[in-house]
Structure 1
């Protein structure tokens, strides 16, 4: 939202609702650190009632890493589902997993998540490599497919992946691996990449749907550990394995 679109009245209303961070972020258009970074912000600040000014001043003294997450809790669960889907689908396909981590950097949604997948079996033959790549692609695609809470939205996400209508980094990695897999197999047919992507998205979607209850439950527990922006949370491989939901994973041949 631009500075011209955010009025003093809306600014004050947001502050009174306890959303000081969002009010400041909306005017500054960037990750807020204090109140002295924007001329427009100071103009709006000077129009506030003294009590609202005091609320902003108190808020601005918090160090960035201790700024609490409030009304973005839903988003933390979305990105937690993404990471837990990588883990659960990997286990469903016979992989062991290591640490999963998550950090929400700022109110603009920027974040970083990781999930470690282990390659436990040797791949001495090209066919072994091709099979590994196929399974790894499915694991990559699963993260994005598991983000929506509603099943019909997950179907829509699958269509977006197939049509390559998104800039999701995991999709770009998956496409690169698909091209490598096709090269190994000596496939040069027209639309081979699109055909492979369609098939693998369908497979990933099936595994996600079969295990969505497990993914969602793990994600809720994982996301609940984040209280502040820039707070890094993580489960190591053992912590993941001892979660009771893991026993309910539907295995995939």
Structure 2
């Protein structure tokens, strides 16, 4: 974990010209996974509330989303880093606590869709899910395998066009792509009530060759603890 934190600090202190460009406006958008390892005497509720309070008080780091996996001591955050070298506020706190941390640069699916030629506005996906207490996190990994680049891009365009139809019909979701080349990895956050499951499953259906993992999560905005 120490090496990960050092790497994160190094990345955050690079010049803006290295971290972002006109073609990659969300180079400083990150998903951060925090796992609280088992520990005798740990007060999980107190720890989670302390993490929640800490991230809400960060300077120049905006909390876009904050979730907890139901049934597990694992938190998911999406941060917008508004100023270089602002990570130490968070990393020093996490290092002292001994939490397991994974940091992944991401960017908006709407930006990716437009790169593919899909006519989608940058704010098409819903970035305000704080009113939904229980949601789903759907992680999709799309493998190119024997497809040409043109064939793969066509499949992804078809998927995004179908997503637009589902979202225009009233389904809500946020979507991010991992900032990497291949395989393409997308993550959706969507309300997970039983009455909406069919629409969510349609939203997460993709091209023939992909892996899908669905996790039930709880919004941290109203989190006050209790048994999960």
TM-score w.r.t. length of structure 2: 0.26
Larger Rg: 1
TM-score w.r.t. length of structure 1: 0.24
Which structure shows the bigger proportion of residues in strand conformation?
2
Which structure shows the bigger proportion of residues in helix conformation?
1
